[in-house]
């Protein structure tokens, strides 16, 4: 049933012009240069350090790498990170 549900959701997003991030539980990532990154629709913090933030997603994880990281805002499904961002990576489970 999981694959069928995913196909129906994808069809609804395309045909009804619904936001994919909300309908498919995808993260919404807003970056301002290399200084700020705002992530919505995550499932929690896996790890945080001065040089890396790892967030749990519905499927896999999101890794932000850089330096001088500071979490400015953290809410149950939203986070605002400041620092020198070098890369954003999506990791799928193996």
Residue range 25-91, CATH number:
2.60.40.2000
Question: Is 35 in a helix, a strand, or coil?
Answer: coil
What's the predicted TM-score (pTM) here? 0.76
Q: What is the pLDDT along the chain (94 residues), one digit of tens a residue?
A: 467 766 666 666 566 665 555 555 789 999 999 999 999 999 999 999 999 999 999 889 999 999 999 999 999 999 999 999 999 999 988 7
- What are the structural domain ranges in the chain? 25-91
* CA dihedral of residues 89, 5, 38, 42 (deg, nearest 10): -80
Dihedral over Cα of 73, 83, 59, 14: its sign: positive
């Amino acid at each position: 049933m999981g694959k069928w549900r995913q196909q129906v959701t994808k069809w609804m997003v395309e045909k009804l012009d619904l936001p994919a991030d909300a309908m498919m539980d995808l993260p919404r990532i807003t970056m301002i240069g290399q200084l700020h990154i705002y992530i919505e629709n995550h499932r929690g913090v896996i790890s945080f350090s001065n040089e890396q933030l790892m967030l749990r997603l519905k499927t896999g994880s999101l890794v932000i790498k850089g330096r001088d990281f500071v979490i400015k805002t953290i809410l149950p499904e939203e986070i605002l990170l400041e620092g020198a961002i070098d890369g954003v990576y999506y990791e799928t489970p193996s």
